[in-house]
Structure 1
Amino acid sequence: MSTTAETNDGADKVAGTAAGPGAAERKYDGPLLSVDNVSTRFRTKRGWLHAVDGVSLTLEAGETLGLVGESGSGKSVLGKTAMGLISGDNATHITGEVRFAGHDMQAITRKQQRELWGDDIAMIFQDPMSALNPLKHIGTQLTESIRVHMGLDKKQARERAVELLRKVRIPEPARRIDQYPHELSGGMRQRVVIAIALACDPTLVIADEPTTALDVTVQKQILDLLDDLRHEMGMASILVSHDLGVVAGQTDRVAVMYAGRVVEMAPTKQLFSSPRHPYTTALLAAIPDLGDAPHTPLESIDGGLPDMTKPIPGCAFADRCRYAQERCLTEAPALDVAKDADGEPGADPKHPHRVACHFPVGTPEGDAALAANEKAGRTAAGRELKLEAV
């Protein structure tokens, strides 16, 4: 299932064969990853928590999709559900369908899933210190997956590990391979985690907040490294982040999540130039601008996420939204194609701009709703409004 013709893939392993990487993708013409009406719930003392609620999206081979939203929006749970790391049991309930290169991830066996992990699908976690075993050398942790998935002997696996460390731009890789995680800086540890994820040339990499634990300058280096490797290896990726600034220059499309639902999805340029959902515009407004005068107050979004153990009959963002009307409190909006979005900068007919909002920003309906609320001084949800826009 590799995106390049010269590599082989483990997709046939899903079918119980060992034709090597790339086989499934060559046979399958649809999206590399398809998520159809997926919901993930966790049993808690207060009831079932709806972490992901009816999400549908696709990812093409070689494409990068950004998943953004504040903490608790469900983006990391969606990524782990798509990878198959979360499975249904007495404390977890998953509905909907996830297909990787045409294969139903919920229908294949656990053994077949493990064959896909690392070989075809890999994940980069946000905290390298918890992702790495502090008691094992870097080299040992790298060669484990190489020997399991690629069938190399100990010497060949070590050579491959050194080459991977060189690929992720770790200096003196032949020396670093025999060091422990605590002997490396935070940025170098994250590079090791990336090397482990890419060890077997996966078709899809899910990066879950890969730069959260790093300082700003190292963040940029890691993001540029991931982008370079994606283009070099031809792999698809999902970049999970709470920071719109992180996904701005690293993704082809962005899906904005709130309370377990996708509220807006569009090509990256189009989303940033013409956001349609009030939540997206509020997130963008909260990003500091270098052109602002000193001591300019930072924008914030009033309120917090709703209680996701209770049914939400309408729009989950209504309590915090400046545009909220009575309809928003009782009727959940569908993720539909935004009106007149085909003329916006960055528009893509194959992946149209979609928004889940009854009164989208920048439309006559949205303008009228906001004007009515500002005139009344409050929204239908009871939120008091200031004269200045968020």
Structure 2
Amino acid sequence: MQIYKVGGAVRDRLLGRAVTDIDWVVVGADAQAMQALGYRPVGGDFPVFLHPQTAEEYALARTERKSGVGYGGFTFYASPDVTLEEDLIRRDLTVNAMAEDGQGRIIDPYGGQRDLADRVLRHVSPAFAEDPLRVLRVARFAARYAPLGFQVAEETLALMRQIAESGELAALTAERSWKEVSRALMEPRPEVFIEVLRACGALATWLPEVDALFGVPQTATHHPEIDTGVHVLMVLRQCAEHEQPLSVRWASLLHDVGKGLTPLEEWPRHIAHEHKGLRLIKAINQRTKVPRECAELAILVGEYHTHGHRALELRADTLLKLLQSFDAYRRPQRFAEFVAACEMDARGRLGFEQRDYPQAAYLLGAAEAARKVAVQPLVEQGFKGAELGEALQRERLKALSAYKAASGNLKEA
């Protein structure tokens, strides 16, 4: 029985990156031998065992054969006679198909070290095309390693295009797809994830509403980059540079989908794109089954992001309605994430990346001013029920009016 480190742990050590998770493969053993040594089986589609001391996962070397559609359409064969090379060839990329023995020696039958040096993400074998999930995985790796100069090999991109055209992406469950997408959006270059999906035709299948934004022009005065799709990529780049959470990145990806519905004769203006895009955002959220906090923020940012940009011009009563829409008193974090998404939108424009966004501090200050209005004095005055709510609204409006005046933003919208 031989035990090897495999996959990402080997790849990242060779790249000089921190290794967090270690995958192990066991050659020359079966389930009975593993259990006799104290390893605990965890079940699943193929034999995986937990180490008796470290609880790390150890998988028996295996081969696989396509037996259906989608990510789960495979039959696995695990046996003591499966070699390390046979196990490695079923993996997605050459840089993930290396192993390391107990002495630190690298076993690299498919050129992973060469591709690391050349900064190339290349598939190991034609069997790559059998698993549609690999389209999302490769795009995610491209987003992770783009800062190091990695690019997807042309022949691998061709296989990804073949998968996209086959219709097999539709066989992926929303839950499994979201796991890859959510990780990709949190990578250092999330916009590269979208670029790679678009390059292979997968974006048109997975997120056609965003794919439709490329080639749609915007007014050059406000958007020197012109192209709406390019703008979305720039906003995602800003999200990563400012270390925004997943909810902000998801909302930023979808915030302008309404512009894809603008008739050509109205270009480059996009009147009421915020409201036009709401049904698209709701449909995307439902289709992709994103977590509730991501779905809710995406809808709110889609509807109100232009309010954020015009914050300094808004009347006090409009500010009050905005805060109510976000339930900003009980959910201050959600409103803060809305403000962050607005700032990323503003910075995600050509030449505006370093421009100050005073609307952010102003909006957060307005929320704080309204939040400071105490309920107890109103209760002591005898207000209750609906009357208490109305009195609280009046006091919050007074607080916002005073805040606006003190901030020197007296212009009425």
Establish whether TM, by shorter chain, passes 0.5: no
The structure number with the bigger radius of gyration is: 2
Question: Which structure would you say has the larger RCO, counting Cα contacts within 8 Å and 6 or more residues apart?
Answer: 1
Give TM-score scaled by structure 1 length.
0.32
Give the structure with the larger helix fraction.
2
